[in-house]
Chain A
Amino acid sequence: MKSHYDIAVIGAGPAGLAAALEAAEAGAEVALFDEQPGPGGQIYRAIENPAPAQTGILGEEYRQGRPLVEQLRGAPVDYLSGTTVWQVSAEREIGVSRNGTAQLVSAGQIILATGALERPFPVASWTLPGVSTVGGAQILLKTAGVVADGAVLAGTGPLLYLVANQYLRAGVSMAALLDTTPPGNRWRALRHLPGALARFDLLAKGQGWIRNIQRSGTPFIRGVTELSIEGDSRVAAVNFQTATGVRRRIETEHVFLHQGVVPNVNLSMAAGCDHEWDAAQICWRPQTDGWGETSLPGIAVAGDGAGIFGAQAAEHAGRIAALGALARLGRLSGENSHRRCKPHRLALARERKARPFIDALFRPGKSFRIPRQPDTLVCRCEEVSAGRIRETVAAGCAGPNQLKAFCRAGMGPCQGRFCGLTVSELIAEETGRPMAEVGYYRLRPPVKPLLLEELANLDSPAAE
């Protein structure tokens, strides 16, 4: 690892890989930092050595990651796997931690490609052992070929149906798939359908997944409401209400929840980039220009970290961000970067066409985002319930940062990843103020927990 790079890319998913490759091709000195042991990000996780016999199960959209990763291995990129980035400053100083050693690295340009996180799904007892996310289930499938027999999958969004299909292909039985997509979404999504028809292939793929589930004989229950999890020391069952108002209970040892993904903005927020509330995707995203550059000069965001548009779009956004960074470094003329950017802009626009439809169709219902029951935990780290937060707000706490001081919500090691969105939405609902005004936690380095030992060794000669 050097102490300075022309361009530092953080995150080795499709956006980060494409950005690093594009930048290296132009002759820039490029570092690609990634927390995982191998390249690919979440979507192409473990693509170089997936669990045996899994590639067939994981399907075509997984195999699409191969070429990017193969190119990386041949490219002059300083690819630093197993590296945690715990801080990015406005001056483009990056705090990294690798093999138990922390170090500060500077960069002429930074491209954040930190991807997405699964949206919190705070239903009753969602913190019990045995409850995980659908994304988590897929990680096990990709890396270890581990599956859970007789699991209940619940929620909404493309990943839910994709993973259910991967389970079916693997021959794993599911106790049920509980679909929480609000039935009214279909009508609200309709006006976005004409635009989305440009990506008929995507829509057809999704329809195919749903058809497979219906044909599989797996209980597939739609219009689910009042979802809650039951159990003492671990999951015993899920309870819910069907579209016709019938209360039902299904026994299971594993529950996988999912209601879409949101940009992982912890690094861009901690760096101090300006963010805005995206009402269509119900999430915060950094404000970026046509090159992905944020309000902080020289710091760009590419891929799902800037708004959810999927892996293909992320690849193009990564290349655009790299071309912009190269132009700002003076390594490409403005004219040249515009010319080379053009095909990617066109492709990106095409990739984005289906998104408003998908966003509207799978918009998670309010009662699944903002817990109705007072004892449902919102902040898992500090065990703060929805009821406690509502009381605190009623007692005069006006925002998420005050809430930290009032009742410790958001003060734990996850730095709000599991609760931040829920907390802001709860406060907005209680106070009747818009999300943009309520805001989000002020995030601070280290964005990921850092061993004191590593911090202490930071400036010592041994770290050089």
Chain B
Amino acid sequence: MNTADVAIIGGGLHGCSAALHLGLAGLESIVIEKDYIGRHASGVNAGGVRRLGRHFAEIPLAMASSEIWRHIEDLVDDTCGFIPCGQVLVAESEDEMRALSERAGRLREMGFDHEEVIDGEDLRMLLPAISPHCVGALLVRGDGHANPFRTVRAFKGKAETLGAGFLEGTRVLGLDRRGGHWRLQTTSGPLEAPILVNCAGAWGGEVAAMLDEPVPIAAEAPMLMITARMPAFVGPVVGTQGRALSFKQFENGTVLIGGGKRGEAAPGTNATRLDIHGLADSARAAREIFPIMGEARIVRAWAGIEGCMPDAIPVIGASGIPGAFHAFGFSAHGFQLGPLVGGIIADLITKGETVLPIEPFAIERFRRAS
């Protein structure tokens, strides 16, 4: 029988990061992945490394993770394709601009000054191709984007060198706890470990249900489109305050358009279905913010399967059951947090605590609600 110190369910970025940090702490883990590493949201997301515009509860975590991203090569021996080109959140009206300024003010009161307010003139300096109707923006320097699949691979590779094992193409069929040990039935046979970590993303609800901690998670399929190569016209990652759009141009000239328009997800079969009308909305938004995009050619569109919580923040922390931990349901913005949250889980397991404020993410909040 396979045994390990920790059994991690889910081979996305969070599962791989947990395995890596546990390895650094001297614990051996086995990651169980039903498909292959980075198959879903972790590998096919837009790669945004973003503190900008986050839920206030996530800010301390995003700030800490940003420090890791700055030196990501020290952690995983690979740059992960991280480019700190900045992230910009654009206001298209004075009302939107007021909302952005208020947000920046509130953050300053909380002690965070990473979100800078910039006016229309500065915005045009930063983004010469932007439509003239845009009035200003929030800017976070040091944010940027990375290559998601490469990032997951790098975390997996480093975790392996630290002793982690990976069971790909392996599904968890059932689990129970006996005598202080978890015993997992999997399609690759039984596995035993004293500690269990649920990093199963959109499937995290299924694992939580096995632990008798059901959560109202929804599988969603944020859609992305990519264009043929275009002349360089935008440096930072651009989002908009008023509508669902995120926008970035890669070094090879291709432009990625995402930002939250959803297709349909069928997590049972791994299938996603694109909603052409939603893609049309994103195309309109892209063209209105950057008129040059009218000339772009869309070569491909796709969607990944994300686990979204009703309050749009993840589940992070200890389970109500001893020996089990959760990090799932990142609600389509877990990529930036990946390098950090694996460390939080490792701290919770090895030290029983973390220095970061994770109370808002406790799974209990759903028990209280129901």
Q: Is the CB of B302 within 8 A of A444?
A: yes
Q: Is the CB of B36 within 8 A of A452?
A: no
B226: nearest residue on chain A (CB-CB)?
A411
B149 on the interface (CB 8 Å rule)?
Answer: yes
Q: Is the CB of B277 within 8 A of A452?
A: no
A412 on the interface (CB 8 Å rule)?
Answer: yes
Q: A197–B126 Cα gap in the complex (Å)?
A: 73
Binary A-proximity of B207-243 (CB < 8 A = 1, otherwise 0): 0000000000000000000011000000000000000
Pick from A402, A415, A453, A456 the residue with the most CB of B within 10 Å. Answer: A456
Given known pairs A444-B274, A452-B227, the reply for A415 and B287 (CB within 8 Å) is no
Q: Restricting to A70-109, which residues have a CB under 8 Å from any CB of B? A: 87, 89-90, 93, 95, 104
Chain A neighbourhood of B300, CB < 8 A: 411, 415, 444, 446
Interface size class of A (residues with CB under 8 A): 20 to 34
Q: Is the CB of A452 within 8 A of B274?
A: no
Q: Is the CB of A445 within 8 A of B274?
A: yes
A451 on the interface (CB 8 Å rule)?
Answer: yes
Q: Is the CB of A446 within 8 A of B301?
A: yes
Q: Closest CB-CB distance, B78 to chain A, in whole Å?
A: 13
Q: A277–B357 Cα gap in the complex (Å)?
A: 53
Q: Is the CB of A452 within 8 A of B287?
A: yes
Chain A neighbourhood of B149, CB < 8 A: 405-406
Q: Is the CB of B294 within 8 A of A452?
A: yes
B184 on the interface (CB 8 Å rule)?
Answer: no
Binary B-proximity of A390-419 (CB < 8 A = 1, otherwise 0): 000000001100100110000111010000
Given known pairs A402-B36, A445-B274, A459-B280, the reply for A452 and B43 (CB within 8 Å) is no
Chain B neighbourhood of A453, CB < 8 A: 287, 294-295
B286: nearest residue on chain A (CB-CB)?
A452
Q: Is the CB of A450 within 8 A of B280?
A: no
Q: Closest CB-CB distance, B45 to chain A, in whole Å?
A: 12
Q: Closest CB-CB distance, A188 to chain B, in whole Å?
A: 36
Q: A172–B103 Cα gap in the complex (Å)?
A: 74
B298 on the interface (CB 8 Å rule)?
Answer: yes
B349 on the interface (CB 8 Å rule)?
Answer: no
Chain B neighbourhood of A459, CB < 8 A: 277, 280
Binary B-proximity of A438-464 (CB < 8 A = 1, otherwise 0): 000000111001111101101100000
Q: Beyond the given A452-B287, A458-B283, could you list 15 further A-B residue pairs with CB under 8 A, ordered by the A residue number? A: A89-B273, A413-B297, A415-B299, A444-B300, A444-B302, A449-B299, A451-B297, A452-B227, A452-B293, A452-B296, A453-B294, A455-B283, A455-B298, A456-B287, A459-B280
B-binding residues in A (CB < 8 A): 87, 89-90, 93, 95, 104, 272, 398-399, 402, 405-406, 411-413, 415, 444-446, 449-453, 455-456, 458-459
List, sorted by A's number, 5 A–B pairs whose CB atoms are closer than 8 Å. A89-B276, A95-B276, A405-B43, A411-B300, A450-B298
